[in-house]
Structure 1
Amino acid sequence: MSNNNNFKKIRTICPWWSCPSYDGIVATVDVKNNKIIKMEGDKNHPQSKGYACPKGLNDWQVIYHSDRFTKPLLRTTSGFKEISWEEAYEIAADRLGEVIEKFNPKSICATMAEWPGVALFMKSINSPNTITNRDLCQGTAETADPLTYGECITIYRSSQDFKNSKCILLVGTNLPHSCGGQWQDIKTAMSNGAKLIVVDPRRCEAAEVADLYLQIRPGSDGALALAMVNVIIEEKLHDDEFVNNYCLGFDKLKSHVQQYTPEWAAEVTSLSVDEIVKAARMYATNGPASYRGNNGVCQHANSTQACRSFAALISICGNIDVKGGNRLAQGPPGREDFIFGDFLKSAIVDKEVEDQTMGADRFPLWAGPNAVMRRPHNPSLINAMIHNEPYPVKAWIVFWNNPVMAYASAQKVIEAMKKIDFLMVLAYTPSPSSDLADLILPIKHLYEYDFIMISSYGSWISTMPKLVDAPEGCRDSFQILYDIAEKMVKKGYIKKNYLPWKNAKSFVEQTVSNGGPINFETLCKMSPMTWRPKYKKYKKKGFKTPSGKVELYSECMERFGYDPLPTYHECGDSAVSLPHLSERYPLYLTTRRVQNYYLTRGAGYAWVKKENQYPELLINPNTANERGIKDGDMVIIETPKGSIQHKAKIFEGIRPDTVNGIYGWWMPEKKTEENGYLNTNINFLCSFYPPYDPEIGINCIQGVMCQVRKK
């Protein structure tokens, strides 16, 4: 932190706390006028190394948004009206209490589970239905990884030691676009001779510089992984020492993958046999190697097994927790077992309550006390809001989330929100979801109070000291939920408030000190704090699996009736599975996001609209010519679930059978539902209904069958 008269430069980090980039930021603040002036990348941050994407550089502008919520708002017959916080607390407590008394605590659900205040508030209510949106992104990997080696190390948690890798495998992810600091590490590794393999139906920026680019058919990533495992085992390229000492089920895996030959995989993936064999050899013989998967591999109805297949690939090559591989978590000195988010374990409800988690009967690996995620099945929750089956869900607390735009079958989400008894939204600014709320509570921006980011995989801690004061009417979410819970206790609706923090300040101080002498102010002077990673920690502690080893053969999966070995099955709604629909819908619809967006957040901000006026659909020139489509034409994208429109962008780097649109797009400047979001949001084309991923119940939101025509 430095001073220059009335201006201060303060080190912080991007407030998009669930974004994988973790960009370090230096903020310039006009202290006298309580105003942020600008943001720039922090060259000394260990994660981002000076890189900062448009979100990190511009999100502070949300604080000064003309439509920002600054007072609690109550829906009335004539629209929203401002009310006091005391009135808001009374209404929230009574409306939630009425649902508890008339129905059951489990008839209340809330997003988002990853935020500690929300999770513990729901424990206070005694409802098991605390929603995670992981089913919309990397939930399949977050299930498959722990089943294999006890924790998630393959997706966005900075576990990849890219800069020390000799081979980097990127599947369904484009790090130059999403994680600039990590991309710098990859470029450093490549300058030292590392190989780069990129797997993506779209020739993304990373693919342009790859040593091997595999333009795979959407949804067939698992077939590629299994064939690579086949080649590596057949050619004895695996790590014998690691497999023999730290893996269970290798012999069964060896026998099992004999069916997954490169020739078989070539037919499934539309890659060549030579490409598959080359990828296997490149990954296995250039160790240590690191792997990163993302939405492209995680969002299909066969993705849990696909992620298990890549987990097996990593494991048999011994690339777990080695320098240059995929690291296991390691907290700061003295708290090595700490993982930011472990406090959620204290938010678990009693077993007899958790047994009633929505979806636990059908997807026990996702929902219920024996699950990996231990969160409700979101499609089933939406269905229960509409049809009251298997039990009614009558209240929804939405925090920092926009389900109308984020969830598949958005028409059903809208119907559900309109049908329930009470919808409470905590937000900065309006969205299609807050438009439907009964009660809107204005929250402080993360730059308006002290906070902290901890990466036990990236080995760093960054503080986020308050930059400016919030508008008088805004409160932090910890305080809001604590106060509502206290009100519900006093009124007799609930027995206990399990939130130990009265506000964000107390949460931060408890997280930082943990009973020790250090406090937030001291940590700010050290931020970002780093520590030296330790490798091969499993030699002392083992893995966080029942056996303490890497479980290539999962008895947990077998116990629930799933294939205990990584396997491949075609997505239930692909052209291969539904050939009778392939003539009408011959293309695969995949998605990406523009860099200014994070999920569905950003549409209402001027700095986003300045760069991105309308969503664009990437389409191969041959595919476009067949349909009479030219660059810039408005096109209709149609699936069995409906149609929307994008603007065509001719792009030679995409497969002829694949198009690529932008998800979560909405236009708040348009005042009607049709123009504002119904016509542009790709999630309206995806289904919340089966076929699901068999293991955890996610629906297919990549590689959806579609047709495109000129409007």
Structure 2
Amino acid sequence: MAKSVEIKDGICYMCTMTCPMKIHVSDGKVVKVETADPKVSHCPRWKAQMDFIYHPVRLLYPLKRTGKRGSGNWQRIPWDEALDTVADGLQSVKDKYGPESVVFWIAYTKEPRPYFHRLTHAFGSPNYCTESSNCFSGTWIAANLTYGAEYSYMAGTGSGIDPETRCKLIWGAAVISSPPAWQVNLEAKEKGVKLVVVDPRRTTIAAKADIHLQLRPGTDGALALGMMNVIIGENLHDKDFTEKWTVGFNDLKKLVKEYTPERVEKITRVPAAKIREAALLYARNKPAKLHMSSNSTTHHANGVQNHRAVILLAALTGNIGVPGGNTLGPISNAKTNDITLHERVAKMPPGVGSKRFPIWTKRYREMQSNAIADQIESGQPYPIKALFSPGLDIQFFANSRRIVKDLNKLDFIAVTEYFHTPGTQVSDIVLPIASWLERHILLTEYFGNVKLIQPAVSPPGECRTEWDIYSGLAKRLGFGDLFWNGSFEKCVDHILEPMKITFKDLESKPEGIKLALQPRPEKHYEKTGFKTASGKVEIASSVLAEHGLDPLPSYKEPPESPLSQPELAKKYPLVMTSGARVMAYTHSQFRNIPRLRKMMPDPLVDINPYDANQRAIKTGDTVTVSSTRGSIKMKANITDTILPGVVSLPHHWPNEANVNELVDDTTLDPISGFIPCKSQLCQVVKHRN
């Protein structure tokens, strides 16, 4: 007799797009996963969810280290002992040094972050840190400073193609290997949309473009200023918009005079004629949409200013708030209670990196992870002595060997994880967690709905949800009441109270509760203004000026480049850019899943044939990639899709080829604190044993 199968609503969390899924369950086990969105049918990651949750080496029980850190010696322990040990480790540091001496750092998963944020500040520490210190928040802060709070997520306003769109300027986004919904851009050319692509690599979309501007990594700001030079010089800027709705246009006009296409060619390696052609195509074919990556322009020492220059192209041409241009989505009635307790931070000691990066830490409401190593070493303004980290990602940190040494100085480290990783190897306690198919997930704005994803199956072994772990620690640390004494239902009720929606309401409506969405009027800013201090688009940022920084989107040469360090470039002559997405992996994850590993079995360095010939390197050769900070081994992929003098490396390849071991951790962006992982000097040679 055939076993019965129940089909449940779910999501895929193999990346953070939370694509809708249909989960087939029989006898308490997932037997099949189907996508509920045909747009993502090509994505290989959702098809590997069962491989992930039923992986033979998934962590199933709490573990306690029995040997030295890094020895790999572990002992299985009961949950009560595990949580008691973690609570005692955190409390002992709090008693001796103060709660601020504990850093709370979270990578994956992202959805439970508000609960972890609450745990951090309930404990009394200001040091809530995440991988956003090197991720989306750089473009977020650039847009926030320039266009105001409503446009903080401006990167999302350019991903599609509207019926009115006549031109698409895609800047640093590989739309095939990035979020699946961006596939629509491949159809743009067939619809008659003019395509301009800016990318150091000749990606699939770049190959289809009318114009591909293949620039030297880190020079995006100069290229954007060069395009502005042409647009303003040809009198193609939107005079009405710049006069009424911007601050600093006249100063910008003076600045861009310095960036003639000929000068910009010398900086970026993009031919002056192409710069002119692209600028004219974008400015003359309105409405035009600017499509940005979430971070490719900001992984540089001048990243925020680079990105500000890029996004100001939309304002300069009047492509803001108009159909076919960069427009905000509909106005939602979603209102929730903030549970993070972040208001308590004002009365706490300064958080990690908050003195050095005050704009980012205040506006993004996190502390800057890239300052952790400095504070561990200096002990100033107070010592860091313990770390609690869901998904501790060692590969995240630039000059990664340094952070490993520094973490080993701490009194106590505990992590939550699915598998053993480089992060578990420096830990004292490892707690196994439930996956997205095994826990409740609250989604407050999901395709126009408030939705509660219910567990499709129970967690394997003794895995627990992150909510259970955090609330269990809260109880042991003396503030269980702040976690509703462990009731996730009461927590959800509190979050949704402003909308008068309850946990039970969502439980009874698995399809979700529809939100009221109000269309946003064209040129909405004419009634509301922009959410900046001036009420206008701040070409000259008042916030940057208040902090003694250049208010204009000025360009600075990367601190480690052939132009800024010609002597160093003699030994390390290649410009290294890293982090290009591949469909098989999400950052450091999934190399342990065979069906995904087959898609990219080895860490590959893309190198131009000219540079390969100079080094007698052939495709498939093992090569050593080195910088002043160290070296890693990779396989060579010889391709003319990358510029001569530039190499492209994947990021976060744990235990095999961690590119961030090569990246400088001292020349951080002064606004965001980001690492310059996309514009560094390196050398590539054939590996010799």
TM-score by length of 1: 0.88
Structure 1 segment 394-405 matched on structure 2, within 5 A: 394-402=385-393, 404-405=394-395
Structure 1 segment 52-451 matched on structure 2, within 5 A: 52-77=42-67, 79-112=73-106, 115-151=113-149, 152=151, 157=156, 160-164=159-163, 165-184=165-184, 186-294=185-293, 295-328=295-328, 330=330, 332=332, 334-335=333-334, 338=335, 343=338, 346-353=341-348, 356-367=350-361, 371-402=362-393, 404-451=394-441
Distance in structure 1 (CA, Å) of the matches to 2:171 and 2:485:
40
Alpha carbons of structure 1 residues 77 and 204: separation in structure 2 relative to 1, 3 Å: same
Question: Which residue does the alignment assign to 1:612?
Answer: 600
Q: CA RMSD in A?
A: 2.6
Alpha carbons of structure 1 residues 174 and 497: separation in structure 2 relative to 1, 3 Å: farther
Q: Cα deviations across residues 312-344 of structure 1 (Å, max 9, x unaligned)?
A: 212222223333233335453x33xx5x9x837
Displacement after TM superposition at 1:530 (Å): 9.1
Displacement after TM superposition at 1:660 (Å): 1.1
For residue 26 of structure 1, the aligned residue among 22, 25, 45 is: 22
The residue identity in structure 2 corresponding to 1:412 is R
Distance in structure 1 (CA, Å) of the matches to 2:558 and 2:485:
44
Distance in structure 1 (CA, Å) of the matches to 2:75 and 2:228:
61
Alpha carbons of structure 1 residues 532 and 277: separation in structure 2 relative to 1, 3 Å: farther
Secondary structure of the residue aligned to 1:448 is coil
Secondary structure of the residue aligned to 1:366 is helix
Alpha carbons of structure 1 residues 451 and 322: separation in structure 2 relative to 1, 3 Å: farther
Displacement after TM superposition at 1:245 (Å): 3.1
Question: Which residue does the alignment assign to 1:669?
Answer: none
* Mean CA deviation greater in 657-666 or 535-544: 535-544
Structure 1 segment 573-652 matched on structure 2, within 5 A: 573-591=560-578, 592-652=580-640
Distance in structure 1 (CA, Å) of the matches to 2:253 and 2:481:
52
Contact 1:585 1:707 in 2 (8 A): yes
Contact 2:649 2:659 in 1 (8 A): yes
Distance in structure 1 (CA, Å) of the matches to 2:79 and 2:322:
52
Contact 1:454 1:460 in 2 (8 A): yes
Displacement after TM superposition at 1:293 (Å): 2.5
Contact 2:493 2:501 in 1 (8 A): no
Distance in structure 1 (CA, Å) of the matches to 2:482 and 2:311:
37
Question: Which residue does the alignment assign to 2:558?
Answer: 571
Q: Cα deviations across residues 230-281 of structure 1 (Å, max 9, x unaligned)?
A: 2222222222333333322222322332222222211111111111112212
Displacement after TM superposition at 1:8 (Å): 3.1
- Note if 1:470 corresponds to 2:459: yes
Q: Cα deviations across residues 262-304 of structure 1 (Å, max 9, x unaligned)?
A: 2221111111111111221222222222223223312111111
Q: Cα deviations across residues 356-394 of structure 1 (Å, max 9, x unaligned)?
A: 112222222123xxx322332323212222442342111
- Note if 1:663 corresponds to 2:658: no
Q: Cα deviations across residues 508-566 of structure 1 (Å, max 9, x unaligned)?
A: 55555644257223553258979564244434433222222221111110010100111
Contact 1:243 1:316 in 2 (8 A): yes
Question: Which residue does the alignment assign to 1:516?
Answer: 500
Q: Cα deviations across residues 60-110 of structure 1 (Å, max 9, x unaligned)?
A: 322112222222212224832222222222212211111111112111111
Displacement after TM superposition at 1:496 (Å): 7.6
For residue 682 of structure 1, the aligned residue among 655, 659, 664 is: 659
Contact 1:138 1:155 in 2 (8 A): no
Secondary structure of the residue aligned to 2:226 is helix
* Mean CA deviation greater in 161-170 or 199-208: 161-170
Secondary structure of the residue aligned to 2:486 is coil
Question: Which residue does the alignment assign to 1:696?
Answer: 672
Distance in structure 1 (CA, Å) of the matches to 2:436 and 2:492:
12
Distance in structure 2 (CA, Å) of the matches to 1:575 and 1:468:
55
Distance in structure 1 (CA, Å) of the matches to 2:211 and 2:575:
23
Contact 1:74 1:82 in 2 (8 A): yes
Alpha carbons of structure 1 residues 510 and 397: separation in structure 2 relative to 1, 3 Å: same
Alpha carbons of structure 1 residues 616 and 344: separation in structure 2 relative to 1, 3 Å: farther
Displacement after TM superposition at 1:395 (Å): 0.9
* Mean CA deviation greater in 285-294 or 168-177: 285-294
Contact 1:501 1:507 in 2 (8 A): no
Distance in structure 2 (CA, Å) of the matches to 1:599 and 1:35:
28
Distance in structure 1 (CA, Å) of the matches to 2:129 and 2:428:
19
Contact 2:506 2:513 in 1 (8 A): no
Alpha carbons of structure 1 residues 132 and 290: separation in structure 2 relative to 1, 3 Å: farther
Alpha carbons of structure 1 residues 301 and 159: separation in structure 2 relative to 1, 3 Å: same
Gaps of 5+ in 1: 490-494, 667-675
Alpha carbons of structure 1 residues 503 and 317: separation in structure 2 relative to 1, 3 Å: farther
Alpha carbons of structure 1 residues 128 and 576: separation in structure 2 relative to 1, 3 Å: same
Displacement after TM superposition at 1:352 (Å): 3.5
Give the paired residue count.
Answer: 671
Question: Which residue does the alignment assign to 2:549?
Answer: 562
Distance in structure 2 (CA, Å) of the matches to 1:319 and 1:597:
34
Contact 1:482 1:501 in 2 (8 A): yes
The residue identity in structure 2 corresponding to 1:502 is G
The residue identity in structure 1 corresponding to 2:457 is V
Displacement after TM superposition at 1:125 (Å): 1.4
Gaps of 5+ in 2: none
Distance in structure 2 (CA, Å) of the matches to 1:53 and 1:309:
33
Secondary structure of the residue aligned to 2:52 is helix
The residue identity in structure 1 corresponding to 2:167 is C
* Mean CA deviation greater in 6-15 or 596-605: 6-15
Distance in structure 2 (CA, Å) of the matches to 1:590 and 1:454:
36
Alpha carbons of structure 1 residues 688 and 500: separation in structure 2 relative to 1, 3 Å: farther
Contact 2:439 2:454 in 1 (8 A): yes
Contact 1:478 1:503 in 2 (8 A): no
* Mean CA deviation greater in 51-60 or 216-225: 51-60
Distance in structure 1 (CA, Å) of the matches to 2:457 and 2:451:
18
Q: Cα deviations across residues 589-622 of structure 1 (Å, max 9, x unaligned)?
A: 1122432111111122233323332111111111
For residue 12 of structure 1, the aligned residue among 10, 13, 29 is: 10
Contact 2:438 2:455 in 1 (8 A): yes
Question: Which residue does the alignment assign to 2:469?
Answer: 480
Distance in structure 2 (CA, Å) of the matches to 1:274 and 1:194:
21
- Between the aligned residues of both structures, percent identity stands at 31
Contact 1:153 1:328 in 2 (8 A): no
Q: Cα deviations across residues 475-505 of structure 1 (Å, max 9, x unaligned)?
A: 211221122112111xxxxx68644583555
The residue identity in structure 2 corresponding to 1:120 is R
Contact 1:172 1:199 in 2 (8 A): yes
Secondary structure of the residue aligned to 2:222 is helix
Alpha carbons of structure 1 residues 542 and 524: separation in structure 2 relative to 1, 3 Å: farther
Contact 2:398 2:663 in 1 (8 A): yes
